[in-house]
Amino acid sequence: MLKLVSRAFPTEFPYHSHWKFGHSHLIYWTHSTSLEHVVPIARGGLDESSNFVTTCYACNDARSHYLLDELGWALREPASSTWLGLTEYPPALKATRTTKPIPPS
Ligand SMILES: [Zn+2]
């Protein structure tokens, strides 16, 4: 969904395929999920579903190979929500796409 927003508004909402900091909008780091190991592989954790959680990419990157206790962090229960993750908006976003490339600023 975020990539569609970037495609429609490349200057205001930039995206880099490797999320290069400063070349991608900060929301890619704060609102995209990534798969994380509760016990990092580097610390003996297993690469299996019993050791998986989702995090935002910023937390995943900040955590590195530390254990949650070492950072004073704890897991939270998944939130209950009816939010659809903006999935209802692609047709509206597609309608905003320009036919001409936006000149660099
Ligand atoms: Zn986070």
What average pLDDT score do residues 55-84 get? 89
Query: How many angstroms separate the alpha carbon of residue 98 from the centre of ligand 1?
Result: 33
Are residues 5 and 93 in contact, defined by beta-carbon separation less than 8 angstroms?
yes
Which class for 9: exposed (0-12), middle (13-18), buried (19 or more C-beta within 10 A)? middle
CA of 58 to the centre of ligand 1 (A): 6
CB contact at 8 A, 57 and 25: no
- Global pTM? 0.61
Q: What's the CA gap between 42 and 98, in Å, rounded?
A: 46
Q: What is the pLDDT of residue 86?
A: 67
> Near ion ligand 1, which residues have CB within 5 Å?
56, 59
Distance 31 CA to ligand 1 centre (A): 8
Q: How much distance in Å is there from the Cα of 56 to the middle of ligand 1?
A: 4
Distance separating alpha carbons of residues 70 and 83, to the nearest angstrom: 33
Q: How far is the CA of 62 from the centre of ligand 1 (A)?
A: 9
% the chain with pLDDT above 70: 80
pLDDT digits (tens, 9 = 90+) for 15-46: 998 888 889 998 888 888 888 999 999 999 99
Cβ-proximal residues to 79 (8 Å cutoff; 6+ apart), any chain: none
Q: Which two tokens stand for residue 6?
A: 């970037």
Mean pLDDT of the chain: 84
